């Protein structure tokens, strides 16, 4: 209990500090103005989401290998948390894009591949709801998760090659190309804060999934008697 409370407080502190820094410490971006400050939230969430999907893949592989339910709990928790962060990315992206690019959405390779990845993990969670038996659900969704994760780099490169063949409608030197030192520091601090939040959510979700599994086991035992 104390450990969870401490983890929660530390995460809260980190997230609040990151938010404060992105509003008051970072200098104003010359062309984009205040809207650029969403970048510290947007890109940091993207990194945290990617880490979560990587953890999901790790959990999927270990479940197939070891067949212990805790790897299944890790897989589903990481997929859900990763999906939450990717959703944040897909929502904050257009909020930034509209004033800067003049459009909410463009079929640029980064946007598109993030969207496809989001769809893949939605399918992963959907698949889990459609298989009743826990062991079968864990195994089949783990296998789908492995296939989906292998697909992510392929999606990424195919869209990248495809889009670079066509001229871009919006010419834009991304914020990643050369950051001012303070921006850089705040950005990496935000990445740290978002990862802490991701770990917190993941461990809470894992606990929930574990309890759920135990309740299911007890229910089955009760029904068998």
User: What CA–CA distance (Å, rounded) separates 41 from 12?
Assistant: 14
User: What CA–CA distance (Å, rounded) separates 16 from 193?
Assistant: 9
User: What CA–CA distance (Å, rounded) separates 59 from 112?
Assistant: 26
User: What CA–CA distance (Å, rounded) separates 44 from 62?
Assistant: 27
Which CB atom, from 6 or from 119, has the smaller least distance to another protein? 119
In angstroms, give the least distance from the CB of 121 to another protein: 10
Q: Is residue 131 at the binding interface for another protein, with CB under 8 A as the rule?
A: yes
User: What CA–CA distance (Å, rounded) separates 96 from 171?
Assistant: 15
Q: Which of 130, 171, 222, 224 binds another protein (CB under 8 A)?
A: 130
| Pattern 49-88, another protein, x by CB under 8 A | ---------------x------------------------
In angstroms, give the least distance from the CB of 89 to another protein: 17
In angstroms, give the least distance from the CB of 56 to another protein: 15
Annotate 35-71 with three-state secondary structure: HHHHHHHHHHHHHHHHHHHHHHHHHHHHHHHHCCHHH
Binding site residues, another protein, CB under 8 A:
64, 116, 119-120, 123, 126-127, 130-132, 136, 139-140, 143-144, 146-148, 150-151, 154-155, 157-159, 161-162, 165
């Amino acid at each position: 209990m104390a450990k969870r409370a401490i983890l929660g407080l530390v995460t809260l502190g980190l997230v609040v500090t990151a938010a404060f820094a992105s509003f008051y410490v970072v200098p104003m971006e010359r062309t984009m103005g205040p809207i650029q400050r969403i970048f510290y939230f947007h890109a940091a969430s993207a990194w945290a989401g990617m880490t979560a999907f990587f953890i999901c893949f790790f959990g999927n592989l270990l479940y197939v290998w070891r067949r212990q339910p805790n790897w299944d709990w890790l897989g589903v928790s990481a997929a859900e948390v990763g999906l939450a962060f990717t959703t944040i990315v897909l929502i904050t992206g257009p909020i930034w894009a509209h004033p800067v690019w003049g459009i909410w959405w463009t079929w640029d390779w980064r946007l598109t591949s993030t969207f496809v990845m989001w769809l893949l993990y939605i399918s992963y969670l959907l698949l889990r709801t459609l298989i009743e038996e826990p062991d079968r659900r864990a195994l089949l969704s783990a296998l789908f998760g492995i296939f989906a994760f292998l697909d992510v780099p392929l999606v990424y490169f195919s869209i990248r090659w495809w889009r670079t063949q066509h001229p871009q409608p919006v010419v834009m030197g991304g914020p990643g190309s050369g950051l001012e030192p303070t921006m850089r520091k705040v950005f990496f601090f935000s990445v740290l804060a978002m990862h802490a939040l991701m770990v917190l959510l993941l461990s809470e979700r894992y606990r929930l999934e574990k309890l759920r599994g135990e309740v299911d086991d007890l229910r089955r035992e009760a029904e068998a008697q």
